[in-house]
Amino acid sequence: VALFHTIEHSYTFIRYQMILRELTAMDVLNATAQGLPGIVGRDGWLARSEWTRGTWICTIPGLTTAVRLDIHFWWNVLEMTPLILAGHVYLRQQAALGKFE
């Protein structure tokens, strides 16, 4: 999950650099390219790509329709849940060994 989240951010950063170059080429120097879509979510690569449009992957709820804030929230939920569970198991094991007394 963390790898896919990293890929999503890398894609977004590369798109940001490309749009910024286009804006600079048009002599638009005081604007920034904020809020660009990533791979998933509304207007993302999956939603716009000829390769994926109309395929089963685009029928997954929210994958091509969710806004950026929702996408980022769910990335973080998917990343943090295993970490929290692993931390909980580890702390219970340490407590059972009497490490906190």
What does the DSSP assignment read for 67-95? Answer: -HHHHHHHHHHHHHHHHHHHHHHHHHHHH
50 in a structural domain: yes
66 in a structural domain: yes
- pLDDT tens column, 17-74: 998 888 889 988 887 767 788 888 888 888 888 888 888 888 888 888 888 888 889 9
Q: Which domain holds residue 31?
A: 2-96
Domain count, the chain: 1
30 in a structural domain: yes
15 in a structural domain: yes
In sequence order, the 6+-apart residues with CB closer than 8 A to the CB of 15 are: 33, 36, 37, 38
101 in a structural domain: no
45 in a structural domain: yes
Decide if pLDDT at 90 tops 90: yes
pTM of the predicted model, to two decimals? 0.64
11 in a structural domain: yes
10 in a structural domain: yes
